[in-house]
């Protein structure tokens, strides 16, 4: 099992998006790389410095890190600073965070491949994970509980892989 942490705007849509893929074994949403321990959603929305982030645990034999990152770039504007869709603020920044240094080559390769598509530098933060605090329970699998909730991810992308996971 591998783990990667992806910040890509509102974490509701990113979680639902990644849950659809074979090989993704578990996703949880939380707050990464901020100063305060165990921040609340309200603190995150008031510039605690954390990014809304999805923790993705996956079987690298079924889905590669490179594939996860290719999917990630499908749901974000990698040139947008602190804004995705209608969501704006430091908590909506984009970022790729890791605990295992062996992921660095895949991350660097994905960033280089994506950069070729743009004439401006990517605004995706890439760094080791400093901290990750679980978001409140009502945020977990939010779009499953609230199918009409706002999300910057296109609804068509949420059904890219018609796989259904048994819970």
Q: Read out DSSP for 49-78?
A: S-EEEEEEEE-TTTS-HHHHHHHHHHSS-T
Q: Cα Rg for the chain, rounded, in angstroms?
A: 15
User: Is 151 assigned a catalytic role?
Assistant: no
CB 81 within 8 A of CB 121: no
CB 45 within 8 A of CB 92: no
Which of 4, 10, 54, 75 is flagged as catalytic? 10
3-state secondary structure of 159: helix
- Provide the annotated active-site residues: 10
């Amino acid at each position: 099992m591998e783990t990667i942490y992806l910040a890509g705007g509102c974490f509701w849509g990113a979680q639902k998006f990644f849950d659809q893929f074979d090989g993704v074994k578990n996703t949880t949403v939380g707050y990464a790389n901020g100063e305060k321990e165990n921040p609340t959603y309200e603190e995150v929305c008031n510039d605690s410095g954390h990014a809304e982030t999805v923790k993705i645990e996956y079987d690298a034999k079924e889905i590669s890190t490179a594939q996860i990152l290719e999917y990630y770039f499908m749901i974000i504007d990698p040139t947008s600073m602190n804004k995705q869709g209608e969501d704006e603020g430091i908590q909506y920044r984009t970022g790729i965070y890791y605990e295992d240094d062996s992921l660095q080559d895949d991350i660097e390769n994905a960033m280089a491949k994506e950069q070729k598509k743009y004439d401006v530098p990517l605004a995706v933060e890439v760094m080791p994970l400093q901290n990750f605090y679980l978001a409140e329970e009502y945020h977990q699998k939010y779009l499953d509980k609230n199918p009409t909730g706002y999300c910057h991810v296109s609804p068509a992308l949420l059904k890219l892989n018609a796989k259904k996971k048994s819970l």
